[in-house]
Amino acid sequence: MVQSIVELRNVPGTEAAVGWAGGHTLVVDRPDGKAGGMGLGFNGGQLLALAIGGCYCNDLRYVAHNLGVEIGEISVTVKLELDGAPLVATSAVLSVNCTTSDGSDPKTLIDRAWAICTVANSLNRGVPTTLTVV
């Protein structure tokens, strides 16, 4: 089993949070003027969309590496729909453009990466989420 742990803490003097995993950090906040937000970082919906798209981009690279194919360019757009109260993600649609350096058809890369995409597969299977107060 592989485990991933991230940490988040408040940023003094703001109502934002900084999150990190290893040596990588990002700022989480609400839009400027919304519930004390200052627009200093990504909101939860944006982070979810980035997680989906970022995982897929990485998986394109994994598949290409395993097949010995060099990727020319990757362009991914994630359209995340949110609705309801509480606000929840109701759908995510990825649009991908991927080219290979040798001009070969990237369809195999695109399809295999989608089949192994950890975040998309986790969401599609309904990953259980729990809260523990410490």
| pLDDT 10s digits, 84-128 | 999 999 999 999 999 999 999 999 999 999 999 999 999 999 999
User: Looking at the structure, do residues 70 and 109 belong to the same domain, yes or no?
Assistant: yes
In this structure, the answer to whether residues 33 and 74 fall within a common structural domain is no
Say if residues 74 and 100 touch (Cβ distance below 8 Å): no
Per-residue exposure over 27-49, b if at least 16 CB sit within 10 Å of its own CB, e if not: bbbbeeeeeebbebbeeeeeebb
% of the chain residues with pLDDT over 90: 100
Please, are residues 27 and 44 in contact by the beta-carbon 8 Å criterion? no
76 and 12 belong to one structural domain:
no
**61 and 28 housed in the same domain:** no
DSSP state of 39: S
pTM (two decimals): 0.94
**Mean pLDDT across 62-71:** 97
Range of the domain at 93: 43-128
pLDDT at 132: 96
> Is 6 within 8 Å of 18 (Cβ atoms)?
no
Instruction: Identify whether 109 is part of a domain.
Output: yes
Angle (nearest 5°) at CA 128 between 124 and 134: 145
Helix (H, G, I), strand (E, B) or coil at 15: coil
pLDDT band at 28 (very low <50, low <70, confident <90, very high): very high
CA end-to-end distance (rounded Å), the chain: 25
Residue 28 domain-assigned (yes or no):
yes
What total of structural domains would you count in the chain? 2
pLDDT of the residue at 83: 98
In a domain, 134, yes or no: no
On whether residue 98 sits in a domain, the answer given is yes
**What's the mean pLDDT when you consider all of the chain?**
97
